[in-house]
Amino acid sequence: MRHRKDHRKLSRTHSHRKALLRNLVTSLFIHERIETTVAKAKEARRLGERMITFAKRGDLGARRHVARFVHGDDVVRKLFDTVAPWYAERNGGYTRIVRIGRRLGDAGETALLELVKSPELKEKLRHDAEEAAKAAKAAEKKGGAKTAKGKGGEAAAKGGEGEAAAEGGTQKEKRAAKPARGDKFGKKGAPTQHKPTTRARQRGKSGD
């Protein structure tokens, strides 16, 4: 008989079972819904709801207690800042188990363990998501307008440079106005004689 034995061992040692349940509870808070066996879901539900109760307290001792069990500072932050306010007016019953049949292979009975969200909460979350999307679009439009203004200023500056260059004369005229360099011309200013290339010699022979 199992007198005063209120938990399932799940065919694992103490350390293995603890690690398994910590991973399940952490995944539950990250994804808000996980799929596992019915036995594991029942064990994880007890611990998950206990963590939410600590998060509703919100003090430093509760945060340290949750951080010792749940993996990741970001998950603890989400639990205290996002998940706990959902159940401020709810006393228990933060999760539900939905059986989804037996899996192939070992025919284990599976279930979904998920956080409960009331219709009012779903509507509030949907409204918050829409407001966030609108704010993001408005920020993108403002950023695009600033970029367009910056590009317009650059184009105007480039146009001014082009006008200044046009007033000063074309590039060919500027090159013609430059003095001749000694490496291209001889001492007297006459072009130096270069030896003809092989192709030029062949063309001259064929022309003869």
Report pLDDT digits (tens) over 172-186: 666 666 655 554 444
Task: Confirm whether 187 is domain-assigned.
Answer: no
33 pLDDT more than 90 = yes
Task: Confirm whether 9 is domain-assigned.
Answer: no
The span from the CA of 75 to the CA of 81, in Å, is 10
Contact 70, 92 (CB under 8 A): no
The span from the CA of 48 to the CA of 92, in Å, is 11
Name the pLDDT band for 35 (thresholds 50, 70, 90). very high
How many domains does one find in the chain?
2
Q: Quote the pLDDT of residue 202.
A: 66
CA R_g for the chain: 39
The span from the CA of 46 to the CA of 29, in Å, is 14
Q: Does one domain contain both 96 and 24?
A: yes
158 pLDDT more than 90 = no
The CA-CA-CA angle for residues 108, 112, 117, to 5°, reads 170
Task: Confirm whether 204 is domain-assigned.
Answer: no
Give the whole-number percent of the chain exceeding pLDDT 90: 51
Q: Does one domain contain both 147 and 81?
A: no
**Stated pTM of the model:** 0.62
3-class DSSP assignment, residue 90: coil
Q: Structural domain of residue 52, as residue ranges? A: 14-116
Task: Confirm whether 95 is domain-assigned.
Answer: yes
Q: Does one domain contain both 52 and 137?
A: no
Tens digit of each residue's pLDDT (9 = 90 or more) over 88-126? 989 999 999 999 999 999 999 999 999 998 888 888 888
In the predicted model, what is the mean pLDDT of residues 40-67? 96
